[in-house]
């Protein structure tokens, strides 16, 4: 097996989420849940001990530290004799099929031949909001851009579009770098992320929602939350149990139930399922109390009143055009198509891409945010870990499914 990882950034591992240097940007889940290695839940904690970093299963570690961990995991990956792992710095701009092979084209003009390609492209920047672009320099379209900190000076008025995890990140950072800044965060419903319970233990599967249609599952969940509340239990444990079977529940829903979930319940689910550390929740609450952070409805604010407007609406769907030349080219060539719901790519249950004619391509797979639609929980570390492990087993069991079995299989991952 010969694997080539192609990454356009300087380092393989941290990606967009974990390249931040801000210590207040912590992981949104317990260290005990975020091992990078499937089947080895203590891997991250052991690494921390080896590094002399104090961490318990319920610690919320800085994301920068987690980025270092991912780099270390990758660098220490054992490569069996007879196999090879190559790293390539470059931007993939296209993949074409030719003579039973995938030709992976880089922006520098180089081409790599491969039996199988895995798209691991991560998250696009937030959706465009053209109505705010008229604000010119005042409008910051990408909250993760390196220049956000430089463009917000002290004591200014900042409007944040979105009240979710990205808003929390941006407030935490700018509070430090631009003291005296006053924030107004807007969204349609004004719902903020909920908090983890301090000192919660590691996951416990206390509840099996079974299978059924959306109304049946909702009813069971509500009943379980109520029952648990009566004996002093915590709704978060129910949410975490449901989350563990969310993808099989999702697959069992009818199209109508999936549509209804997105319109009526998705946001309520997101704020309960992606929770922030209790310390950060207390910090956000104190800013609200002091008036430094106000939550409003988008229609109630005049964006021209603000010195800066920052788009914190979360990543756009992967099939969005314009964020990644590779995605644009594959869409153009009809080699991929958006999933019916438009949230990710249309994929087989194993993650193989489906072209615009509805044909499954057994030589190209996708992991991560691109899976949203065929699955519901796709982008957090536990989801990525499971997807990667399953796909690895699949490729190992049938590595050269698409080409000449006489020679070693070659795979390309774009990117880390
Ligand atoms: C701000 C943020 C915070 C998050 N925090 C958490 C958290 O606390 N806990 C949690 O469980 N999950 C979290 N997530 C979700 C998830 O864990 C991360 O997004 C995770 O890094 C996703 O991994 P990935 O490999 O899919 O994408 P990434 O880590 O983003 O990696 C994709 C890589 O592909 C490269 N790339 C893209 N296109 C090309 C191309 N054409 N050619 C070459 N290279 C290319 C990019 O440069 C990038 O390095 C967070 C997500 C975000 C955005």
Largest alpha-carbon pair distance within the chain? 69
Give residue 121 CA to ligand 1 midpoint distance, Å: 7
Residue 116, CB-side half-sphere exposure with 13 Å CA sphere: 26
Decide whether any atom of ligand 1 lies within 6 Å of the 384 Cβ.
yes
Same domain, 139 and 282: yes
Ligand 1 nearest atom to the CA of residue 93, by list position: 41
Give yes or no for a contact between 236 and 197, defined as CB atoms under 8 angstroms apart: yes
Same domain, 299 and 328: no
Positions of the chain with pLDDT lower than 70, given as ranges? 199-205, 399-409, 414-416
Residue of the CA atom closest to atom 8 of ligand 1 = 27
Ligand 1 nearest atom to the CA of residue 315, by list position: 53
Same domain, 263 and 327: no
Instruction: For 258-280, write each residue's pLDDT tens digit.
Output: 999 999 999 999 999 999 999 99
- Polymer length of the chain: 416
State which residues form the domain around 370: 2-124+317-414
The burial of 330, by beta-carbon neighbours within 10 Å (0-12 exposed, 13-18 middle, 19 or more buried), is given as buried
Q: Is 392 helix (H, G, I), strand (E, B) or coil?
A: helix
Model pTM above 0.75? yes
Pocket test for ligand 1, best of 6, 10, 11, 15 (most atoms within 8 A of CB): 15
pLDDT for 405: 42
Same domain, 35 and 112: yes
Same domain, 351 and 295: no
pLDDT for 167: 97
Give residue 263 CA to ligand 1 midpoint distance, Å: 26
Q: Report if residue 338 sits inside a domain.
A: yes
Give residue 124 CA to ligand 1 midpoint distance, Å: 9
pLDDT for 195: 94
* Number of structural domains found in the chain: 3
Which residues lie closer than 8 Å to 109 by C-beta, 6 or more apart? none
Decide whether any atom of ligand 1 lies within 6 Å of the 387 Cβ.
no
Residue 88 to residue 350: CA distance in whole angstroms: 26
Give residue 373 CA to ligand 1 midpoint distance, Å: 18
Give residue 386 CA to ligand 1 midpoint distance, Å: 15
Q: Considering 283, 311, 339, which residue would you say is the last residue of a domain?
A: 311
Pocket test for ligand 1, best of 16, 71, 104, 143 (most atoms within 8 A of CB): 16
Q: Report if residue 145 sits inside a domain.
A: yes
DSSP character string of 201-212: -S--------S-
Same domain, 287 and 152: yes
């Amino acid at each position: 097996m010969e694997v080539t990882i192609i990454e356009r950034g300087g380092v393989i591992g941290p990606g967009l989420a974990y390249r931040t240097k801000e210590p207040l940007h912590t992981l949104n889940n317990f260290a005990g849940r975020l091992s990078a290695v499937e089947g080895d839940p203590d891997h991250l904690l052991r690494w921390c001990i080896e590094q002399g970093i104090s961490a318990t299963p319920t610690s919320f570690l800085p994301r920068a530290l987690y980025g270092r961990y991912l780099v270390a995991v990758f660098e220490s990956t054992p490569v069996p004799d007879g196999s090879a792992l190559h790293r390539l710095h470059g931007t993939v701009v296209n993949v074409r099929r030719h003579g039973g092979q995938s030709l992976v084209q880089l922006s520098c003009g180089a081409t790599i031949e491969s039996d199988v390609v895995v798209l691991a492209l991560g998250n696009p920047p937030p959706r465009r909001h053209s109505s705010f672009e008229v604000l010119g320099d005042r409008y910051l379209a990408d909250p993760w851009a390196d220049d956000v900190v430089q463009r917000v000076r002290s004591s200014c008025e900042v409007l944040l579009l979105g009240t979710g995890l990205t808003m929390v990140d941006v407030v935490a950072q700018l509070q430090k770098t631009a003291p005296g800044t006053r924030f107004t965060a807007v969204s349609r419903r004004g719902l903020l992320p909920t908090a983890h319970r301090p000192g919660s233990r590691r996951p416990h599967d206390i509840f099996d929602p079974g299978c059924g249609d959306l109304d049946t599952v909702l009813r069971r969940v509500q009943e379980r939350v109520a029952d648990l509340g009566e004996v002093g239990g915590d709704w978060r444990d129910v949410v975490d149990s449901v989350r563990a079977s969310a993808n099989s529940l999702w697959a069992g829903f009818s199209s109508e139930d999936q549509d209804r979930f997105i319109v009526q319940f998705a946001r309520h689910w997101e704020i309960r399922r992606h929770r922030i550390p209790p310390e950060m929740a207390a910090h956000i609450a104190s800013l609200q109390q002091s008036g430094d952070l106000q939550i409003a409805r988008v229609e109630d604010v005049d964006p021209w009143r603000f010195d800066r407007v920052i788009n914190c609406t979360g990543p756009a769907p992967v099939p969005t055009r314009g964020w990644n030349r590779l995605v644009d080219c594959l869409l153009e060539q009809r080699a991929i198509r958006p999933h019916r719901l438009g949230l990710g790519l249309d994929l087989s249950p194993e993650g193989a891409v489906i072209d615009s004619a509805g044909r499954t391509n057994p030589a190209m797979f996708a992991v991560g945010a691109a899976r949203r639609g065929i699955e519901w929980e796709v982008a957090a570390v536990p989801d990525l870990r499971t997807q990667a492990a399953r796909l690895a087993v699949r490729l190992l069991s049938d590595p050269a499914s698409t080409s000449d079995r006489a020679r070693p299989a070659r795979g390309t991952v774009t990117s880390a």
